[in-house]
Homo-oligomer: A and B are copies of this chain.
Amino acid sequence: MQLRNQVEWVLHCCAILAMLPEGARLSTRALAEFHGVPKEYLSKALQSLAQVGIVEGSLGPAGGYRLARPASAISFLDIVEAVEGGGRSFACTEIRCNAPCHPPGFRPEGPCQVARIMWRADDAWRRELAAQSLSALADQLGRELPADLQSRTAGWLKKRISS
């Protein structure tokens, strides 16, 4: 059970976007260069974010992406689910109905006991991610990153910011 690497990419991209000045945009190319990942594939991941309204793209030169809502209103879960899809990690196929000693077409009421436990763990995972906002990540990065690195990064970004 592995998450795609796109998840890592967009989380870092969102972190960058969250630290940008209000309204500033960054192009897919700039984000891809900054993280050293293929531009066109990253673009697909960012499109997924745009589709669910986490991020907002604009066309033309000086176009690019910016957060569609304040970073405090975007959770890790929002981002992960945008890329990875919202389904549960455990899919119950109701194999308990296949027992040859059961009458054919038998359907027990209530969800499978095994699935219930797996889903509860899944919910715990989701709760944890839902509790983490992008702004909290940005704050933490601002606190933990060495000052010289922050200023060098800010300088590099300033050259690539559109509008």
Contact = CB atoms under 8 A, between A and B. Distances in A.
B101 A3 contact: no
A154 to B, nearest CB: 9
Kindly report how many copies of this chain are found in the complex they form together: 2
Contacts of A161: none
Q: Which range contains the number of A residues in contact with the other chain?
A: 35 or more
Contacts of A124: 124-125, 127-128
A22 interface: no
Binding site secondary structure of chain A: helix
A12 B101 contact: no
6 contacts: A8-B90, A76-B121, A99-B153, A100-B156, A101-B156, A113-B141
- Nearest 5 Cβ contacts at the A-B interface: A36-B98, A121-B128, A101-B156, A125-B125, A124-B128
